[in-house]
Amino acid sequence: MRFLRRALLFILVTLLATLAGAALWVQWPRPAPSGDDIAAASAGAVTATWLGVSALLLRDGDSAILIDPFFTRKPAKLGLLTNRPISPDTARIRHWLDRLEIDRLDAVVVSHAHYDHALDAGVVARLTGAQLLGSQSTAQIGRGAGLGEDRITVVGEGAPIQVGNFRLRFIASRHAGATGGRPRGTIAQPLVPPAGPLAYRMDATWSIEIVHPRTRLLHHGSAGFVAGALETVRVDTVLLGVALIDDLPAYLEAVVGNVRPAQVYALHWDDFTRPLSEPLRPLPFGVDLSAFFTGARSQYPGIGFHTLPLGEAVALPLSEADTPSVAPDA
C-alpha cells in the first residue's frame, strides 16, 4: 500500500508539472536525413529509425531488429495518475508496421519491462514472427501476448546473442531518476492485458551493445548507469536516454566518455502520453533538452550530439575498419 501511495504521488507530481508547463514549447535540434543518408540507406547501409521514447528499428536490408516498441502510447496523463488498465492497441501497431514496411523481424528486444518500453513488445513479436529478447519480466509480457516458449529468450549479462547479422550483448545498467526505477520487481506470471501501468515491473535494466559487420552502436535507453560497466565498450554511435538525469556530467562520463563514440543521438525525451500522430514535445517534467545539449557539447566538443527524426531511416556511420581509405594526392 505504501508503494502504491508513493507511485501515485510521483504520477500526481508529473501530472501537475505537465499542466504547469503545457503552454511551453521547447525547441530541439531535429536533423532530417540528408540526400546522402537516404542514398546510403538504399545501398544497403545499416539504418536506424527512431519511433519515439527509446524505440529503435535497425535494418541492413537483410536483418531487422526492433528495440523497445511502444506504438500504443497510452494511457493519457489522467490514466497514468489513476493506474487505468491498458492494452496494446493492435490497430496502431499494425498501422506503424505497415508504414515501416515491416512484415517480419528477426527479434524484438526490450531494455527493461516498464510499460513505455515493453507494453507492445509481445504483440509486435507475435505479428512479425520475431524472437522476443529480454528479462524474466519481459518473458511474462510475451507469454501474456500469446507467444510460445520457443519464441522467448531470457537474456543474461555478457554472453553475446547473434540475431541475423547483428550480435547483441546485454550489459547490466540502472534505471534513471529519483524513483529508482519503480515499479520494480519480477512479474511472476503471464501478464495478460488489460493491466495498469504499475503492473509492468522492472527486474533488470540493460545497456545493449550491438555489433554489425559494418557498424557498432550502444542502445542505452535509461539515463542511469553502473560505474565502470562500459569501460571496455567501443562503438561508433550511442543512442542515449535523456529523461530523469540526476547528474549530467557523471552520466556523460560513465557512458559517452567511456565508450568514445563519434556521435550520440538523444532518446526518451518525448512526451509518451501523446500519440505519434501528433507533433512530438519533450516531457515537461524530467527532460531539459536545452540543458542536455548545452552540457553535452561543452563536456565533449568533439562528439556530435543530435536527435533523430521520427519514423525516418538514417544511415549509421561505418566502423573504422570498414571505412575506405583515402589515397594520398599524387
Whether 309 shows a pLDDT value over 60: the answer reads yes
Whether the per-residue pLDDT at 83 is higher than 80: the answer is yes
pLDDT number for residue 16: 38
d(CA 59, CA 40): 12
User: Could you tell me the three cell numbers for 120?
Assistant: 507492445
Q: Pick the closest to residue 259 from 286, 229, 283 (CA basis).
A: 229
Look at residue 25 and tell me whether its pLDDT is greater than 80: no
Q: Which residues contact 290 (CB under 8 A, 6 or more apart)?
A: 26, 28
Q: Write the pLDDT tens digit of every residue in 162-218.
A: 999 999 999 999 999 876 789 999 999 999 999 999 999 999 999 999 999 999 999
In this predicted structure, the answer to whether residue 85 has a pLDDT above a threshold of 60 is: yes
Q: Which CATH number fits domain 2-317: 3.20.20.120, 3.40.190.10, 3.40.640.10, 3.60.15.10?
A: 3.60.15.10
Instruction: Identify the residue whose cell numbers are 510499460.
Output: 115
Q: The pTM is what?
A: 0.86
Q: What is the pLDDT of residues 134-168, one digit of tens each?
A: 999 999 999 999 999 999 999 999 889 999 999 99
pLDDT band at 27 (very low <50, low <70, confident <90, very high): very low
Q: pLDDT band for 1, please (50, 70, 90 cuts).
A: low
The residue-averaged pLDDT of 221-226 equals 96
What percentage of residues in the chain have a pLDDT greater than 70?
Answer: 83
Lowest-confidence pick of 2-11, 105-114, 152-161: 2-11
CA atoms within 13 Å, Cβ hemisphere of 329 = 0
Distance, CA of 167 to CA of 3 (rounded, Å): 38
Q: What is the mean pLDDT of residues 283-290?
A: 90
Question: Is pLDDT of 79 > 90?
Answer: no
Q: Kindly list the domain boundaries of the chain, sorted by start residue.
A: 2-317
- Residue 171 to residues 59, 68, 229, 271, Cα–Cα distance (Å): 22, 16, 7, 27
pLDDT at 192: 98
- Report the pLDDT averaged over residues 121-128: 98
The mean pLDDT value of the chain amounts to: 87
Give residue 37's pLDDT. 43
Distance (Å, rounded) from C-alpha 56 to C-alpha 153? 19
Instruction: Name which residue leads in pLDDT, 241 or 159.
Output: 241
pLDDT digits 0-9 by tens, 31-63 = 434 434 443 444 568 999 999 999 999 999 999
